[in-house]
Amino acid sequence: MFHDFTAQFWANTIDGVTVGSIYALVALGYTMVYGVLRLINFAHSEIFMIGTFGSLAVIQFVGFTGPYGGFALVGVLLLCLAGAMAASGGAAVVLERVAYRPLRKKGASRLAALISAIGASLFLQELFATVIIPKFFAPGRGRDMVGFTPPGEEQVRIMDKEVLFSIGSGDVRNDKLLIVVAALLMMVVLQMFVTRSKLGRGIRATAQDPETAVLLGVNIDRIVMTTFLIGGVMAGAAGFFFLIFYEVTNYFIGFILGIKAFTAAVLGGIGNIKGALLGGFTLGLVENYGASIFGSQWKDVIAFTILVVILMFRPSGILGESLQRARA
């Protein structure tokens, strides 16, 4: 058991960081919405799922037949990324408008909002399962995983997966490196946006003290919308990376990944952008190390146990809650 852990340490480290980057990007959406509205946006996992289909739509619509290399690859990747971000960002804004804003205007309870979120999550999953996937992506194949090409056709790949270099037992592959670097880059840009721009200041002000923020002329609706948009765009990016990495998707992929991303957000300190990154990496690593020791079937149990334990003993997370004041 522990021999497995040491022998596969580097391989699991690399994979843990890669998966952790995806967790971190999704976690941002939970963290920012929670920071501003103190709402667990339960449907955020579906926003991520929609992102994977945004990319897939671009691939199928344009009819990419890859694998590409060089500048062509960069162009294709950017186009797919844009597709995912547009789909997720749009869906997040619509979600806010339809499922949350009316409740917010009524001053409904947070319990009601959370339940509305669960309803929205269910609705979006089933919308894809029963309407969108069979109609546009995979006709006639029931609820199987959806690949780049419709079932029965030759599978294409956007990029060939090549090992760039190795660290111990672990191979650093081009797609893994891309995901980690791009995710880090996006986090930095987001952090700068929140700390430097006017909208970012508005978000922080609202998170800290909504009443004063409103008195000082912050447009709450706009802030909330922007927050959802940013969270959605980041989840879209995560969806794109997910699709490039695994090359399959389906309507249910968001559920487990969403809970894990939420765990990452809580782990790092909800409301805290750096915390999301730290939480994502930590969770990805612990999960993979744990799997190498206990067996891969325990992966989810490990993640959920971390969630429960963290919430029990240190609900403010590793870095504490910083987008907002801590609330008991």
Partner 1 sequence: MSAKARLGGLRDAAAVPGEKLRDWWDTAPKGARWAVYGLLFVGALLLPWSGLAPIMSPDAKWSSILFYPIGIYVLLAIGLNIVVGYAGLLDLGYVAFWAVGAYSMAVLGAYYHWSFWEILPIGIAMAAISGVILGAPTLRLRGDYLAIVTLGFGEIIRKFAENSDYLRENRGIDNVPRPPDMSEAEIGGVQILEYGVRDARPYYYLLVVLIAVVIIMVKRLENSRVGRSWAAIREDEDAAELMGVPTFKFKLLAFGLGAAVGGAAGVLWASKTTFVAPDSFPFILSATILAAVVLGGSGNLVGVIVGAFLVAWLPERFRGAEEYRELIFGAAIVLMMIWRPEGLIPSRRRKAELKDGGGGSGHLGAEVAEVSK
Partner 2 sequence: MKRVPPTMRLLALLGAASLALTACGGDGGEAGGEIKLAFIGAQTGPNAQLGINISNGVELAIEQYNATNPDKKVVLTKYDTKGEPSVAPGQADKLIEDEPVAIIGPAFSGESKAVAPKFEEAQIPNISPSATSTALAANGWKYWHRIITNDDSQGAEDAKAIVSQLKAKKIFLVDDNEEYSIGLAGKFLEALKAEGITPGSDKINPDDTDYSSTINKIKAADPEVVFFAGYYAAGGKLLKQMRDGGVDALFFSDDGALDQGLIDTAGAKQAEGSIISCACQSVNPTADNPKVQEFIDAYKKKFNVDQGTYSAEGYDATNVFLDAIKAGNDTTEKINEYLKTVDVQGVSKPIKFEANGEIADKSIFYFQVKDGKLEFLGDATKIPTS
* Distance in Å, CB of 246 to partner 2, minimum: 5
Q: Which does 116 bind (CB under 5 to 8 A by kind): partner 2, partner 1, none?
A: partner 1
What phi, psi does 247 have (nearest 5°)? Answer: 60, 15
Cβ pair 238, 51 in contact under 8 A = yes
* Distance in Å, CB of 188 to partner 1, minimum: 28
Q: Which two tokens stand for residue 16?
A: 């843990």
Q: Which does 171 bind (CB under 5 to 8 A by kind): partner 2, partner 1, none?
A: partner 2
Chain CA centroid to CA 327, Å: 25
Q: Using CA of residue 194, residue 52, residue 21, residue 115, what is the dihedral sign?
A: positive
- The upper half-sphere exposure of residue 137, i.e. CA atoms within 13 Å in the direction of its Cβ, equals 26
Give the three-state DSSP class for 271.
Answer: coil
Q: Which does 305 bind (CB under 5 to 8 A by kind): partner 1, partner 2, none?
A: partner 1
Q: From CA 122, how far away is CA 101, in angstroms rounded?
A: 18
Cβ proximity to partner 2, 247 vs 321, nearer residue: 247
Q: From CA 71, how far away is CA 145, in angstroms rounded?
A: 30
CB atoms closer than 10 angstroms to residue 92: 31
Q: From CA 307, how far away is CA 147, in angstroms rounded?
A: 31
Q: Which does 120 bind (CB under 5 to 8 A by kind): partner 1, partner 2, none?
A: partner 1
Q: Which does 291 bind (CB under 5 to 8 A by kind): partner 2, partner 1, none?
A: partner 2
Task: List interacting residues with partner 2 (CB under 8 A).
Answer: 4, 7-8, 11-12, 15, 18-19, 140-145, 147, 151-152, 154-155, 157, 161, 163, 169, 171, 173, 242, 246-248, 252-253, 256-257, 287-288, 291-292, 295-297, 299-300
Cβ proximity to partner 2, 250 vs 272, nearer residue: 250
Q: Which does 304 bind (CB under 5 to 8 A by kind): partner 2, partner 1, none?
A: partner 1
Chain CA centroid to CA 306, Å: 19
Task: List interacting residues with partner 1 (CB under 8 A).
Answer: 37-40, 98-100, 102-116, 118-127, 130-131, 206, 210-211, 214-215, 220, 224, 255, 259, 262-263, 266, 297-298, 300-301, 304-305, 307-308, 311-313, 315, 327-328
